[in-house]
Structure 1
Amino acid sequence: MTIIISLLLLASLLPHLTFTARVNVGIVNGIEAKPHSRPYMVSVQTKVQHLCGGFLISDRFVMTAAHCRNNSPVLIVVLGAHDLQKRNLDRIKVDSYHKHPQYTNKSYHNDIMLLKLERRVELNNNIKLISIPMKEEDIKADTVCSVAGWGAAVTNGPGNNHLMETNVTVMNNNECGDKWGKDDYSSSQMMCVYGYGGSCDGDSGGPLVCGGTAVGVTSFGDLELCNSPKLPEVYIKISAYLPWIKSIIGKVN
């Protein structure tokens, strides 16, 4: 009798345990990244709270999304992290903010920003740069890429302290434009991905990585549902902004 009661109790708990485990998985349907396997990843924070992702493209600059500063005037970046709860993380103040000059908070067009750090970064095994495209080009549809971040696993859910990752697939540009419409989507500035997993709240600003190169900046998706099957996630196409990027970074000695 005792064994039967125990089995019934376990059965009643299983659905709850399964649900809890899924909630604790960061990025929608993602897996935990191998610690420090993405040493370019940056946590952009305000008041010691993770706000957005970002990525290190030089020893003085982090790239992220412009909208990450809409309501947060002061930002710091955390480098070389996997578990954001660990103490003694490398935190660096932002010296200056460089939103794209044509970005406004009325839309996600030109949603790209460079953060000039207060000091140069000392690169090591846990802190490294990621390359960006050398010339303007489109990534072919059906290319498998990846995204990572400390964002939520479900819409309006809590963030994750451990860096999570998942694979995504590049969508045909015209198909994405048809889904979002010309007011929201610019085929020259943006690109879309889809897949079983994807970005969510708190992953904005992180990189879309294809073949070891950061080709996109996580920008926006369906406001009502992360990883929506109807409205794909949208990324700012980095290669469309190379002259502007070089004009900002080139000013630093």
Structure 2
Amino acid sequence: MTIISLLLLASLLPHLTFTARVNVGIVNGSEAKPHSRPYMVSVQVKEQHICGGCLISNNYVMTAAHCRNNAPVVTVVLGAHDLKKSENSVRYTVDSYHQHPNYTKGSFVNDILLLKLEKNVQLNDNIKWISIPEEGSIIEAGSVCSVAGWGSLEAKGQKSDHLMETDVKVMNNTECEHKWAKKYFSTSQMMCVHGKGGSCDGDSGGPLVCGNTAVGVTSFGDPARCNSPKQPEVYIKISAYITWIKKITGNII
């Protein structure tokens, strides 16, 4: 697992124009009630977790584009809570990969990827898709949302086998732009959150959920500290990509 993470980071370093922690787990959170988030997906390489994701239809998973930078072949696990236990979970092969056409390896602009599964998912109490927002919809600053994942419990710490979660608040976009600078943060494509807990290494691609809707894709954060108030976690704003998503999925969303 450590080797995979290092390889992912190494593939990005030559291209980065700034330092950011890629592949961002949950710090200061709590264990989720098993299967209370049936849309959560573990994106894996050689049956090892590398990123999060969410099921958005019967055969499409949404995650971050940079999760595949050094992983040409991934599989996804649905219905999991404890990644060490296979009961209730199902592994699916990816049939095709659809990264945003304007994403560039080593960048976090347009950091969004759709995975078409080889076959339709068998939905049940432990496996369900989550809705995504309407095009152009806005989440007001101060809104209480949540993030979840199997990532590290602290910076450079051990990843969690159990799904963890925490509540967060949406930040004002102007404030986030100020903290990250305009050349790194796009107010039209990105959003930030803050809170007592937040994302850490291993949760890239996982959803930011407001109500019952996935509104963001975990993208990047402070290189040295998880859940940093100085450089908060950044999420790709799903509402900015609805036209592209519907084009790929054939308007089934």
Same fold (TM over 0.5): yes
User: The TM-score by the shorter chain falls in which range?
Assistant: 0.7 to 0.9
CA offset at residue 106 of structure 1?
2.8
CA offset at residue 109 of structure 1?
0.5
Alignment of 1:133-144 (within 5 A): 133-144=133-144
Runs of 4+ in structure 1 over 2 Å off: none
Corresponding residue for 1:93? 93
Maintained 8 Å contact 2:179/2:231? yes
Deviations 1:133-182 (A, max 9, x none): 02212210000000000000111112111000000000000000011001
Are 1:64 and 2:88 an aligned pair?
no
Larger radius of gyration: 1
Corresponding residue for 1:12? none
Aligned residue for 1:248, secondary structure, equals helix
TM-score, length-normalised on structure 2? Answer: 0.88
Corresponding residue for 1:156? 156
Maintained 8 Å contact 2:135/2:241? no
Alignment of 1:8-23 (within 5 A): none
CA offset at residue 54 of structure 1?
0.3
Structure 2 CA distance for partners of 1:72 and 1:93, relative to 1, 3 Å: same
Residue ranges of structure 1 left out of the alignment (5+ in a row): 1-25
Are 1:221 and 2:247 an aligned pair?
no
Alignment of 1:1-253 (within 5 A): 27-88=26-87, 89-250=89-250
Q: Give the AA of the match of 1:137.
A: S
Aligned residue for 1:71, secondary structure, equals coil
CA distance in 1, matches of 2:197, 2:251: 38
Aligned residue for 2:174, secondary structure, equals helix
Corresponding residue for 2:13? none
Structure 2 CA distance for partners of 1:251 and 1:97, relative to 1, 3 Å: farther
Structure 2 CA distance for partners of 1:247 and 1:157, relative to 1, 3 Å: same
Aligned residue for 1:101, secondary structure, equals coil
CA distance in 2, matches of 1:82, 1:143: 27
Structure ranking higher on relative contact order (CA contacts 8 Å, 6+ apart): 2
Which structure features the higher share of helix residues? 1
Maintained 8 Å contact 2:61/2:117? yes
Corresponding residue for 2:10? none
Percent identity, aligned pairs only, is 69
Residue ranges of structure 2 left out of the alignment (5+ in a row): 1-24
Maintained 8 Å contact 2:100/2:113? yes
CA offset at residue 87 of structure 1?
2.6
CA offset at residue 251 of structure 1?
7.6
